[in-house]
Amino acid sequence: MALLPILQYPDPRLHKVAKLVVAVTDETRRLIRDMSETMYAAPGIGLAATQVDVHERIIVMDISEAHNDLKVFINPELIEQSGEEEGEEGCLSVPGIYEKVRRAERVTVRALNESGEPFTLTADGLLAVCIQHEMDHLEGHVFVEHLSHLKQTRIRAKLKKQRRETL
């Protein structure tokens, strides 16, 4: 397994729309293992393939305290959403930035697992937020794009300053 580099906002590659996975292969499963290792090492609770510059519809996430409940979504599709809530979000591609974002309170998603088998999952709370956040990545969107233009500009400036300071 290998740690993969995570793209940093506002990298234009984060805005590419991911393509459907045609077949779940050993290469797909290797990517899932590498993405999972990268997510845990970061540390994070979710990672979309887009964030590691692979533009396929694959998401890994684990919101458990013990990091022992990995969920894999291949070709995820939101089939139902209800309610609305606002919560603070962060992102491995936007390090150190946390902002309130409005999301559906409850979602139902249909996807394939790492064996290529279809499943449906209904989620609420943090899991629902994480699913929506990571699915945004597959559509070429980063969570800060849910914010006002002014906040986005401030975030870009802050990240630029952080990068200069680490060089």
Residue positions annotated with a catalytic role: 134
Residue 11 has which token pair? 């990298």
Alpha-carbon span 167 to 165, nearest angstrom:
6
Nearest in space to 38 (alpha carbons), one of 13, 66, 7: 7
Q: Cα 53 from chain centroid?
A: 12
Alpha-carbon span 56 to 131, nearest angstrom:
16
In degrees, rounded to 5, the angle at the alpha carbon of residue 140 between the alpha carbons of residues 112 and 51 is 70
